[in-house]
């Protein structure tokens, strides 16, 4: 019998799992995909929002501001990539100035530190490529950019090394409260637990409505993006937003935590909870919208496009807590933007609520520190030479676009909750994320996965079941 079963290994589920590991608990995370970070947490803007967007007094506002402060510290404890570059909301018409002021006032009410409104001259100094008609901007110094995979994977690894169990390829099909405990049934097993955490992203309404009479409704709100080559990463230095509208924060232009340039997202309500395709219409829209705020974005350097789905609940607020009328079913639902920023605070908030209900004792052995994969390109010459003495594979470059070595790929596979597929390696190391989008390195990476996992090359997948890369042979076996 588990104390807590968490449905979903996205950033929310993994943040809750890590915080629960601070207590003497038996916790299991069930994930339908083959790895952590396979849902919305892998396809977003990666912005650590300052916290001026959400309405004062909401859970979204509180957890955004708390999460932002936690990430500034957590990136050192858990060793993931985060750059505190600051953000700008650009006002393009003098008559829109009151709307910018409203954002500033909201930020002050939400407790966001370091906010200022800057005028055109200063804005031009900060961002030389800003549109000619830009009037002024809201500058938020606490905003930043994070590697979304890095944050999610670090939280999961640290939860795991502190005793949390993970089951992948385990799709939860049914939940029922029987004889004072929860029965959680997957496509493979039936588990028993005192409490359930519903962190199933766009599917969280399905599980909530299974056990609770007050119905919730989550609409997948699609956001499409274009990612540009690292040669363009300095085109803007801050995350540049335009004034938000009722569908969200609008199209942004931003450097990523790894120095690419990201442009997007769109915001379109759809029905398909797996509908992550991009469309010519969406990409055209991003191009025309982004250039209202930033001049001549170098779209010739686009290396890929992708889309993510916001879990938009009808009430437009995070739903976090024990579902009404249940005994131990905790929602972590409607976690749309700023969910990535808020995740560490969501984890703490919900774990403390569950601890208080079940009186969990403190786990004195909890170790909140985690070391990421060694990056040879960040080492000094002498450090690199020392490393190469023991591990010459850190000198063998596999992904030339991103300068990723065999040693890093091996580490990504053998470390706790290691990679099992090409995408798993990519999210942990960036092998295949560069200009050629894995055109050159994937055969070599596949060979390393095959060798390290002891499986035939033909069994290596792109992203788990149904995605084998080798589907036959074009010559007869000799
Ligand atoms: C376009 C876009 C831009 C965004 N930009 C930002 C941003 O810049 N900053 C920010 O702070 N936030 C941003 N967000 C929001 C942020 O990405 C999300 O709030 C966050 O990733 C949600 O994480 P999650 O763990 O709740 O959901 P998910 O990451 O979707 O995780 C849910 C998990 O549950 C699993 N699951 C579902 N059903 C089952 C089942 N039956 N059994 C087992 N497992 C199941 C899924 O496979 C998935 O892994 C953005 C979102 C989008 C879509």
Domain co-membership, 207 together with 303 = no
Same domain, 227 and 299: yes
11 CA distance to ligand 1 middle (Å): 7
Please tell me the predicted confidence (pLDDT) of residue 244: 85
pLDDT of residue 249: 76
pLDDT at 245: 76
- 281 CA → ligand 1 middle, Å: 24
Do 302 and 224 sit in the same domain of this protein? yes
DSSP state of 466: T
DSSP 26: -
What single DSSP character describes residue 415? S
Residue 136 and residue 230 in one domain = yes
Q: Is residue 49 annotated as a catalytic residue, yes or no?
A: yes
CA 354 to chain centre: 24
- Do 330 and 393 lie in one domain? The reply is no
10 Å Cβ neighbour count for 96? 15
Residue of 43, 153, 200 to mutate, ligand 1, most atoms within 8 A of C-beta: 200
The answer as to whether 55 is a domain residue is no
**Sign, Cα dihedral of 446, 370, 198, 29:** positive
Q: Which long-range contacts (CB under 8 A, 24 or more apart) does 187-192 make?
A: 191/2, 191/5, 191/28, 191/30, 192/1, 192/2
Query: What is the length of the chain?
Result: 478
How would you class 209 by CB atoms within 10 Å of its CB: exposed for 0-12, middle for 13-18, buried for 19 or more? Answer: middle
User: Does residue 375 contact residue 117 with C-beta atoms inside 8 Å?
Assistant: no
Q: Are 136 and 123 in contact (CB under 8 A)?
A: yes
Q: Would the CB of 448 count as within 6 Å of ligand 1?
A: no
Q: Which atom of ligand 1 lies at the shortest distance from residue 13's CA?
A: 25
Give the residue from 372, 341, 413, 411 showing the smallest Cα distance to 148.
341
Judge if the beta carbon of residue 40 lies within 6 A of ligand 1: yes
Whether residue 293 lies inside any domain: the answer is: yes
Residue 421 CA to residue 392 CA, distance in Å, equals: 23
Verify whether ligand 1 is closer than 6 Å to residue 265 (CB atom): yes
Q: Is residue 231 part of a domain?
A: yes
Looking at ligand 1, which residue's alpha carbon is closest to its atom 38? 200
Q: Please give the model's pTM, rounded to 2 decimal places.
A: 0.97
Do 138 and 196 lie in a common domain? Answer: no
Query: How far apart are the CA of 9 and the centre of ligand 1, in A?
Result: 9
Same domain, 262 and 300: yes
Please report, for the domain that includes residue 385, its CATH number: 1.10.10.1100
Which residue's alpha carbon is at the smallest distance from atom 13 of ligand 1? 337
For position 31, which CATH number holds?
3.50.50.60
- For residues 211 and 239, membership in a common domain is answered with no
pLDDT averages per 10-residue partition of the chain, 478 residues: 98 98 98 98 98 97 98 98 98 96 98 98 98 97 98 98 98 98 98 98 98 97 97 96 82 97 97 97 95 96 98 98 98 98 98 98 98 96 96 97 97 98 98 93 97 97 95 75
Q: What is the pLDDT of residue 192?
A: 98
Shared domain for 397 and 326, answered yes or no, is: no
Element (H, E) at 221: strand 218-228
Q: Are residues 156 and 178 in the same domain?
A: yes
Write out the residue range of the structural domain in which residue 211 sits: 2-41+149-217+315-358
327, 295: one domain:
no
Q: Does the CB atom of residue 335 touch ligand 1 within 6 A?
A: yes
Domain CATH for 248: 3.30.9.10
Neighbours of 217 (CB within 10 A): 12
Atom of ligand 1 lying closest to residue 342 CA: 11
Do residues 302 and 321 both lie within one domain? no
Q: Ligand 1 in contact with 203 (CB < 6 A)?
A: yes
Task: Give the span between the Cα atoms of 30 and 34, in whole angstroms.
Answer: 10
Tell whether 167 is covered by a domain. Answer: yes
- 260, 281, 313: which is the final residue of a domain? 313
32 CA distance to ligand 1 middle (Å): 13
Q: Is residue 130 part of a domain?
A: yes
Q: Which of 18, 34, 39, 65 has most ligand 1 atoms within 8 Å of its beta carbon, as the pocket-test mutant? A: 39
The number of the ligand 1 atom at minimal distance from the alpha carbon of 171 is: 42
Whole-angstrom distance, CA of residue 255 vs CA of residue 77:
24
* Number of structural domains the chain divides into: 3
Q: What pLDDT shows up at residue 478?
A: 57
Q: Does ligand 1 come within 6 angstroms of the Cβ of 336?
A: yes
């Amino acid at each position: 019998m588990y104390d807590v079963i968490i449905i979903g290994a996205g950033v929310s589920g993994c943040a809750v799992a890590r915080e629960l590991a601070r207590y003497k608990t038996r916790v299991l995370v069930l994930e339908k995909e083959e790895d952590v970070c396979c849902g919305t947490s892998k396809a977003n803007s990666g912005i650590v929002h300052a916290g001026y967007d959400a309405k004062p007094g909401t859970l979204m506002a509180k957890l955004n501001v708390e999460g932002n402060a936690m990430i500034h510290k957590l990136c050192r404890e858990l060793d993931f990539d985060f750059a505190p570059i600051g953000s700008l909301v650009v006002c393009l018409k003098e008559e829109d100035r009151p709307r910018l002021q409203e954002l500033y006032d909201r930020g002050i009410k939400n407790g966001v530190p370091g906010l200022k409104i800057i005028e055109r001259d200063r804005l031009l100094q900060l961002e030389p490529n800003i549109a000619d008609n830009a009037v002024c901007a809201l500058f938020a110094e606490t905003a930043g950019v994070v590697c979304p995979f890095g944050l999610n994977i670090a939280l999961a690894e640290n939860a795991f090394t502190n005793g949390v169990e993970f089951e992948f390829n385990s799709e939860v099909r049914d939940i029922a409260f029987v004889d004072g405990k929860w029965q959680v049934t997957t496509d493979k097993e039936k588990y028993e637990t005192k409490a359930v955490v519903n962190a199933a992203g766009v599917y969280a309404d399905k599980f909530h409505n299974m056990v609770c009479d007050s119905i919730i409704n989550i609409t997948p709100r699609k956001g499409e993006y274009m990612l540009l080559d690292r040669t363009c990463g300095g085109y803007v230095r801050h995350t540049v937003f335009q004034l938000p509208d009722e569908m969200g924060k609008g199209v942004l232009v931003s450097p990523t935590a790894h120095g690419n340039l990201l442009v997007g997202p769109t915001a379109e309500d759809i029905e398909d909870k797996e509908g992550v395709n991009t469309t010519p219409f969406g990409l055209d829209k991003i191009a025309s919208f982004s250039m209202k705020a930033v001049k001549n974005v170098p779209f010739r350097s686009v290396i890929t496009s992708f889309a993510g789905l916001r879990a938009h609940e009808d009430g437009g607020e995070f739903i976090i807590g024990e579902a009404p009328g249940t005994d131990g079913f905790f929602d972590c639902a409607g976690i749309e933007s700023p969910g990535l920023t808020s995740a560490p605070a969501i984890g703490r908030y919900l774990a403390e609520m569950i601890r208080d209900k079940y009186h969990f004792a403190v786990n004195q052995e909890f170790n909140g520190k985690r070391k990421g994969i060694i990056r040879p390109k960040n080492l000094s010459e002498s450090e690199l030479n020392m490393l190469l003495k023991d591990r010459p594979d850190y000198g063998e470059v596999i992904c030339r676009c991103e300068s990723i070595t065999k040693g890093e790929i091996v580490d990504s596979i053998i470390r706790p909750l290691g990679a099992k597929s090409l995408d798993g390696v990519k999210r942990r190391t960036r092998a295949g994320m560069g200009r050629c989008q894995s055109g050159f390195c994937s055969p070599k990476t596949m060979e390393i996965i095959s060798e390290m996992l002891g499986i035939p090359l033909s069994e290596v997948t792109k992203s788990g079941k149904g995605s084998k890369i080798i589907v036959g042979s074009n010559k007869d076996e000799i």
